[in-house]
Amino acid sequence: MLIKNSKMFSVGTFLAISFLGVLIMIFSPLFSGKNGLEFADESFNKLAKGSSYFIPKVAKTIEPFSGKPVSATITLDKTEDAVNTEKILALAGAKITRNDISLTVEGDVAVLLQSALKDADDMYHNNGKALSDRYGLNEKQALKYWWQALNKIEKQMKKDRNIEMAKLFSEVNKKAVEPGYNFYQIDANKVVDHAGMLSGLLVFYVFYTMWWGYSIFYLFDGVGLTMKKARVKKEA
């Protein structure tokens, strides 16, 4: 390979080698037994969880529906799902009529959804044992049954043109059940308490990306591969 600019090529080589050296460090278990990607992913998950606690606000939106009835027929995928969902909804105070994989659910909207919030809150605070003791099921599976039931009831409400009720079931799922499930066994951190680390990771990401870009630029320049603006041909 013909090097046309040894200085530029040397700079590019140094940047490329140092970039790869840092990359090896990133994939090494140097961060409390975790590699850099695992550490960053865990850190962002903790910050995301700390910003996703909406259960108290959702509880207030349920209060105006106290005493209002809900009636819906939902169909599960298999008998086991229907049996376990029946158990959960029945303990939540709903009247359930099951026909194989089909459940007819009747009850007080607020009572039903407050039970869902209680389970979601326990999961959010990593108290999954409360759910497993309550239902005799795996805690994540129990919350999954809640999600399926509320999602199917929401769809039934939309078909019945009860948009207000459908919105309520959707909000409980998205702002309570889903965070409880997705962030289970993850510690919550507030962004304000880790602003320095967050800023550092973001700055490093931008800097590291540019680092590789400049190494390629200098290497190419060193071997004479450059981009120049094409000359404009003048008409005679």
**Collapsed DSSP state (helix, strand, coil) of residue 107:** strand
Which pair of structure tokens corresponds to residue 204?
């490093």
Burial category of 58 from C-beta neighbours within 10 Å (exposed 0-12, middle 13-18, buried 19 and up) = buried
Write the single-letter amino acid at 43.
S
**Could you tell me which residues come within 8 angstroms of residue 79 by beta carbon, excluding any fewer than 6 positions away?**
100, 101
Identify the band that residue 232 occupies on the pLDDT scale cut at 50, 70 and 90: low
Reduced 3-state DSSP string for 10-43 = HHHHHHHHHHHHHHHHHCCCCECCECHHHHHHHH
| pLDDT average, residue stretch 151-175 | 95
Cα(23)–Cα(84) distance, integer angstroms:
48
> Which residues, at least 6 apart from 173, have a Cβ–Cβ distance to it below 8 Å?
147, 150, 151, 154
Residues of the chain with pLDDT > 90, as a percent, come to 75
Name the residue ranges covered by the structural domains of the chain.
6-49+189-222, 54-182
Instruction: Identify the pLDDT of residue 215.
Output: 93
Residues whose CB is less than 8 angstroms from the CB of residue 95 and which lie 6 or more positions away in sequence, other chains included: 105, 106, 107
β-pair type (102-108, 69-75): antiparallel
- Cα three-residue angle 146-162-172, rounded to 5 degrees: 30
Q: Give the model's pLDDT for residue 197.
A: 83
Q: What is the mean pLDDT of the chain?
A: 91
Gap between the terminal Cα atoms of the chain: 41
Element (H, E) at 221: helix 195-222
Q: What is the mean pLDDT of residues 131-152?
A: 96
Q: How far apart are CA 142 and CA 198, in angstroms?
A: 34
Q: Give the residue among 143, 141, 135, 130 at the shortest CA–CA distance from 178.
A: 143
Q: pLDDT tens-digit profile of 173-182? A: 999 999 999 9
Tens of pLDDT, residues 40-87:
888 888 999 999 999 999 999 999 999 999 999 999 999 999 999 999
Stronger pLDDT, 20 or 5, i.e. the higher one: 20
